């Protein structure tokens, strides 16, 4: 039988939203491990199945996830459910993910569709096809869709996948952490699958940008720095297919132009993404230490 342990990473969370997440998750899993990237003041467990780890400082989502995975292993987890503080699983999400996983022997992870209330549309699953990036929407309720990678929040990972693929890349700190892990798994023959019958509410990034009658995802300038830097660090990997690097590089340049022109404060986005590119070219990872780094 599956022994699922949820690993929830927090950073200055809204306590009411965190409680909603815990209320939705705890009945579906054996244990919940909350890993706080802060001073540890955010949460006091009131349930023996809730466990709390304080990192003492913001050491990045990858480090926090890895510490949570270590704790899950001590709890005899067969599967780890990764979550962040901005997600609320549907009541049957874990059940649906486990059901799908049982039919997918080559899976590194499975994940749900998610709804961001601010955009009013269910997320697609993304994969490359030729030199195109395809957004795959679900065409029927029980469909399972192979994707290049999944967002970490909501991903259900068999513990043996971490043993085979490895854990999260800590020098990425935040940004592209889930992308790198999913693509690394794929390079080893372990695939990521989106499960259309599994659902979750999730807030992705900052307040969306409205432009030309459409809404676009948004991030802080610092988050965009990490994304641009880590994308270039990822392109250095010899196991990553050249066509994926070309496609992602094209989209990264579009993102750089878009944020520099349309996302306020424009110059801050331009500056931080430019610094990210510079660090990526230099091969510098870890936590960004400011302009003097």
Is 283 or 41 the better-scoring residue by pLDDT?
A: 283
pLDDT at 208 over 90: no
Do residues 56 and 121 make contact, with C-beta atoms less than 8 angstroms apart?
no
User: Distance (Å, rounded) from C-alpha 13 to C-alpha 190?
Assistant: 33
Whose tokens are 């999944």? That residue is 150
Q: Which residues pair with 133 in a beta bridge?
A: 128
What is d(CA 195, CA 50) in angstroms, rounded to the nearest whole number? 27
Mean pLDDT of 172-196: 97
Instruction: Give the 3-state secondary structure of residue 16.
Output: helix
In the predicted model, is pLDDT for residue 292 greater than 60? no
pLDDT digits (tens, 9 = 90+) for 46-94: 788 999 999 999 999 999 999 999 999 999 999 999 999 999 999 999 9
Mean pLDDT of 213-219: 77
Taken in order of first residue, the domains within the chain and their CATH numbers are: 4-202 (3.90.550.10), 206-282 (no CATH)
Per-residue confidence band for 210, with pLDDT thresholds at 50, 70 and 90: confident
Mean pLDDT of 121-149: 93
Nearest to 232, CA basis, from 218, 217, 248: 248
How far CA 113 is from CA of 192, 195, 253, 273, in Å, comes to 13, 7, 27, 29
| Cα–Cα distances in angstroms (integers) from residue 205 to residues 41, 135, 170, 237, in the given order | 24, 19, 20, 26
């Amino acid at each position: 039988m599956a022994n699922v342990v949820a690993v929830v990473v927090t950073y200055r969370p809204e306590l009411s939203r965190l409680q909603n997440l815990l209320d939705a998750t705890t009945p579906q899993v054996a244990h919940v491990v909350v890993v706080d990237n802060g001073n540890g003041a955010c949460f006091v467990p009131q349930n023996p199945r809730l466990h709390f780890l304080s990192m003492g400082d913001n050491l990045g989502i990858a480090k926090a996830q890895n510490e949570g995975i270590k704790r899950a292993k001590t709890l005899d987890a067969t599967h780890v459910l990764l979550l962040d503080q901005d997600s609320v699983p549907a009541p049957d999400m874990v059940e649906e993910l486990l059901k799908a996983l049982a039919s997918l022997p080559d899976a590194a992870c499975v994940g749900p569709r998610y709804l961001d209330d601010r955009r009013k549309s269910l997320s697609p699953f993304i994969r490359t096809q030729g030199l195109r990036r395809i957004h795959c929407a679900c065409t029927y309720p029980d469909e399972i869709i192979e994707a290049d990678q999944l967002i970490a929040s909501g991903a259900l990972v068999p513990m043996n996948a971490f043993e085979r693929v490895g854990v999260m890349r800590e020098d990425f700190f935040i940004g592209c952490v889930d992308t790198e892990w999913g693509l690394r798994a794929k390079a080893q023959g372990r695939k990521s699958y989106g499960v259309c019958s599994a659902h979750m509410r999730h807030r992705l990034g900052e307040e969306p940008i409205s432009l030309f009658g459409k809404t676009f995802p948004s991030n802080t300038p610092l988050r965009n720095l990490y994304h641009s830097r880590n994308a270039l660090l990822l392109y250095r990997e010899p196991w990553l297919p050249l066509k994926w690097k070309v496609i992602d590089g094209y989209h990264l340049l579009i993102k750089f132009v878009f944020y520099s022109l349309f996302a306020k404060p424009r110059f801050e986005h331009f500056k931080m993404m430019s610094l990210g590119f510079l660090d990526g070219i230099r091969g510098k990872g870890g936590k960004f230490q400011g302009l003097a780094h």
